[in-house]
A and B are shown apart, each in its own frame.
Chain A
Amino acid sequence: MQLGDLGERLRRATVQVRAAEGNGCGSGVITGSMGYIVTNAHVVQGKNPVIELWDGRRFPGRLLALGRRHDLALVKVDTLGLPALEFGDSNALRPGAMVLAVGNPLGFTGALSMGVVHTVGPLRGLGENRWVQADVRLAPGNSGGPLADAQGRVVGINTMIARGLALAIPSNVVADFVTRARSKAA
């Protein structure tokens, strides 16, 4: 698959997540065909957000679960068959592998940036949590969006920027959270 096609696929499965109040706007990833969207807890701010798709359609989102320990949230919209992304294995990531980040930084919609995996592991001063640390340019608004590998699989959820590095929650942590949150919600 060409880089442009890959980028387009990622963009269509990335949504804007607008907190119901205030101007907060982040990103989210559509996972599965049932309308589930995973994003950061700090993006939804504990409320039901409004979800805007790549093509401009808007849906009210229902906040199903918050994982505050990892800064994750699961949201559902009542629409079937949205373009979704698969999770990759974040434990298999190698430094130097290429990654793409998609999100809505600084008001841009579906902006794509590219770089390499810098390393995977904890970061000094940020506790025990493991991060996918990527040499990718992020900006506010990328939060909750996908970090994808060269095959287009989500390997992390972009969450913050530290010392110029993009920090993403590893997809294995995210997939685990989504599975648990869905089984509770069902």
Chain B
Amino acid sequence: MTSSFAELSGQLANVVEQAAPFVVSVAAHPRHAASGLQWQPGVVVTVEHPLRQANAAEVLLADGRTVMGKVAGRDATLGVAVLRVEDAAGAGVVTTSAPVRAGNLTVTVGRGRQGNVTASMGIVSSVARAFQTWQGGVVDPLVQLDYSLYPSANGGAVVDASGMVVGLATSGFTRYGASAIPAAVLERVVATVLEKGFVPRAFLGVGLRPVLLPRSMAEQLEGAPESALLLLSVEPGSAAARAGLQVGDILCALDGSPTREPEDVQNKLTPERIGAALAAVVLRGGQRLDVVLTVGEKEQ
């Protein structure tokens, strides 16, 4: 008996089978196994959380072999770790950068501790532009899923209806459901980690909190903003200290845009901006002050 429903079922299982050879199990923690993606020959990408205390983990490959993976580096802002697995010489996963839309069907393929392939299915619940993680990482776009992951499927492959890998499954970003870190973001993380051993983070060295501006102060500024950011701390030797910023200064604009929330500053601090000069507008003692900040790099 053939039927459209039976065909759909068969196609879904085919999609899982197509992705499974690239999905490994990472025994990162005595209790929690995660999944991982064989990204390129000898390199596995996985979620960082279970590896926080470890520099190496056993990796169970799709062909049944258990090999050692060494942590090559991590991007803590995205919760991603990159492992070097020399014995995993097989080809890397086939990814797609085709746009994903809310409502698209996705399957998350993981691998359990015993080597068994696992699958969950659902739809894309939203595609969020330039999502910022609470550690300051930017995922663009963040593909949110309407289903949650079983713990071992964290780090598995989020696969579209054609069997192509959209991204890495993680439940680290949102309280409910799960998300996919897109392949393009992973590509960048892997390239940086393999080159440097870490992902550099831009850093100014200031502690900030939003404050309301009195009208008299606001009127000195473009757009007369109602609020800005008070400097609560300035780290010695940091970019902010070198530019002469002091505790008590109020940061009102950075790189031409108003700074009302700490996120407005964080958004400017992408890794590409390390070493770049950013114009800042500051109020000190009620007087406007224009300074130039040279973006620093956070020490690892």
Taking Cβ atoms with an 8 Å cutoff, the residues of A that contact B are 1-3, 6, 94-98, 115-122, 124, 133, 135, 149-151, 163-165
Contacts and interface: CB of A to CB of B under 8 A. Distances in A.
B117 to A, nearest CB: 5
B118 A2 contact: no
Contact of A120 (B4, B9, B15, B116): B116
Q: Chain B at the A interface: mostly helix, strand, loop or mixed?
A: mixed
B117 A119 contact: yes
B58 to A, nearest CB: 16
A165 B150 contact: yes
B119 interface: yes
Interface residues of B, number: 29
Contact of A96 (B1, B112, B121): B121
B1 A1 contact: yes
A1 B6 CA distance: 8
Contact of B17 (A3, A94, A115): A94
B5 A118 contact: no
A134 to B, nearest CB: 10
A95 B14 CA distance: 9
B114 interface: yes
B269 interface: no
B49 interface: no
A136 B6 CA distance: 17
A2 B2 CA distance: 10
A97 B118 CA distance: 11
Interface centre among B13, B109, B119 (most CB of A within 10 A): B119
A119 B3 contact: no
A154 B78 CA distance: 43
A135 B9 contact: no
B6 A150 contact: yes
B10 interface: yes
